[in-house]
């Protein structure tokens, strides 16, 4: 258990940030899963800018690494081009 007042506050703030990061990461993963299940190219083309934006926002908040964001976007583009 933490002994200092600042350490107790840090534990509280870390828990809040962890929950917030989990929410953003899970939202992104669910959206990725839904995008990967698409079979219609027109619908996928329409949803791609939203997906790229979502991935960039999560990377900007440091929930995922910027290189992982780039890899995810690349895979989405590749999937769309191969439809």
pLDDT at 52: 97
Contact 60, 27 (CB under 8 A): no
Hey, which CATH number is domain 5-81, 3.40.50.720, 3.30.160.250, 1.20.58.110, 3.40.50.460?
1.20.58.110
Q: Is residue 24 scored above 80 in pLDDT?
A: yes
- List the domain boundaries for the chain: 5-81
pTM summary value: 0.84
């Amino acid at each position: 258990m933490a002994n200092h007042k600042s350490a107790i506050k840090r534990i509280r703030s870390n828990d809040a940030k962890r929950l917030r990061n989990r929410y953003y990461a899970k939202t992104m993963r669910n959206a990725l899963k839904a995008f990967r299940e698409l079979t219609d190219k027109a619908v996928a083309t329409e949803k791609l800018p939203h997906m790229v934006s979502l991935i960039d926002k999560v990377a900007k908040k440091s929930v995922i690494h910027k290189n992982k964001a780039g890899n995810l976007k690349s895979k989405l583009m590749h999937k769309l081009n191969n439809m």
